């Protein structure tokens, strides 16, 4: 399928073009600000679909709304009609199309041009009145509050908030791209006046957005990660990270050393404990304590280890051996004291997960001989 993408230098287009490059069966033709409208007939003469992303939203004069939004869309429709290419068109309109302002009116008139094209040809037209789209490669200090806030927070600049309670409706660019590919692949039927939608949308406030981005920033110092595995927080975290400059790709974490080796905390979570690693020199034993509620998972990734266990009530003992050559998770059990000894001839390195963040005021770690 050969797809013409207008506005090919824009934020959504960049994400879409990259995704097309990852898939088989798609070929891309592009139309950008450097392309003349007179080239449209040639561009559309051999395409199978159009993703019409081009438009203007901050021109020097209101008249350019008409030229860049309505006029370009009308020119695209005319080129398709003249070439006999009755192909589906995806169009990114705006939620402002219902508003009485020059931008909204130009988008509404562009919608009407596409509806007329569909009525004349029977081709499918998918009009998306998108709210604020965010994600990687979106230009800050332009027309995206998410991009601007991410950029400023990532490089240590202040952000300006007029009203913390202003509601934001958001869609993530990866979800937009997924939707466009679904439509191009499945070609669903819509009623003549129906709008297409990106099903995954989010709502937050300007104040909540700022707080969330600040939490991402601060997590490098606290080591406490936000819940970045799903939904809006996942999408915002990915977006925020994309605004880090290369000199901020890495950061140091505290290292605690003593004659036994080193201990380093890597990551803490809000509700699923923390991750760390430690080393031990040959013959060194670490541990020698029990927990009432805390549990841990150990993974030896280098060296050879002996794990010892003792039930603090019955004095029953147990030991097991593991090494970095054969990955094995060893878990500590509440009510059993435990230790780990380096029984090899080289430094031992061990990954450790605990189900709760270590609290120095309430450590739940009681010394007890194994």
d(CA 159, CA 152): 6
Distance set, CA 39 to CA 9, 45, 69, 86, 243 (Å):
17, 10, 17, 18, 35
**35-55 CB burial, b ≥16 within 10 A, e <16:** eeeeebeebbeebebbbbbbb
d(CA 195, CA 288): 65
d(CA 332, CA 326): 19
Surface-to-core class of residue 255, CB atoms within 10 Å of its CB (0-12 exposed, 13-18 middle, 19+ buried): exposed
For the question of residue 126 being annotated catalytic, the response is no
Q: Choose, from 103, 126, 172, 237, the residue flagged as catalytic.
A: 103
Q: Which residues belong to the active site?
A: 103
């Amino acid at each position: 399928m050969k797809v013409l993408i207008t506005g090919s230098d824009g934020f959504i287009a960049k994400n879409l073009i990259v995704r097309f490059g990852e898939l088989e069966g798609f070929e891309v033709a592009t139309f950008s600000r450097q392309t003349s409208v007179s080239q449209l007939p040639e561009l559309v003469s051999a395409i199978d679909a159009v993703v019409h992303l081009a438009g203007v939203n901050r021109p020097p004069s209101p008249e350019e709304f008409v030229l860049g939004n309505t006029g370009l869309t009308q020119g695209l429709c005319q080129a398709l009609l003249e070439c006999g290419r009755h192909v589906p068109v995806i169009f990114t309109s705006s939620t402002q199309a219902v508003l009485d302002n020059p931008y909204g009116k130009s988008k509404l008139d562009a919608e009407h041009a596409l509806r007329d094209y569909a009525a004349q040809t029977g081709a499918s037209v998918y009009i998306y009145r998108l709210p604020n789209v965010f994600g990687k490669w979106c230009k800050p200090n332009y027309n995206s509050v998410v991009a601007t806030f991410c950029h400023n927070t990532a490089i240590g600049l202040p952000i300006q908030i007029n009203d913390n309670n202003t509601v934001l409706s958001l869609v993530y660019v990866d979800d937009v791209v997924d939707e466009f590919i679904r439509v191009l692949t499945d070609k669903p039927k819509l009623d003549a006046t129906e709008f297409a939608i990106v099903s995954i949308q989010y709502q937050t406030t300007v104040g909540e957005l700022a707080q969330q981005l600040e939490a991402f920033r601060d997590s490098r110092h606290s080591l406490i990660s936000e819940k970045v595995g799903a939904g809006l927080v996942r999408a915002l975290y990915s977006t925020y990270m994309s605004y880090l400059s290369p000199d901020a790709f890495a950061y140091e974490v505290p290292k605690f050393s003593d004659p036994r080796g080193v201990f380093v905390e890597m990551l803490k979570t809000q509700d699923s404990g923390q991750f760390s690693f430690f080393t031990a020199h040959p013959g060194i034993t670490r541990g020698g304590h029990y927990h009432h509620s805390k549990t841990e998972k150990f993974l030896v990734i280098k060296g050879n280890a002996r794990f010892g266990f003792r039930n603090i009530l019955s004095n029953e003992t147990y030991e097991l051996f593991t090494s970095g050559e054969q990955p094995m998770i060893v878990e500590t059990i509440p009510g059993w004291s435990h230790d780990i000894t380096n029984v090899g001839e080289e430094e031992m390195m061990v990954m450790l997960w605990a189900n709760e963040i270590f609290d120095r005021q309430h450590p739940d770690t009681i010394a007890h001989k194994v």
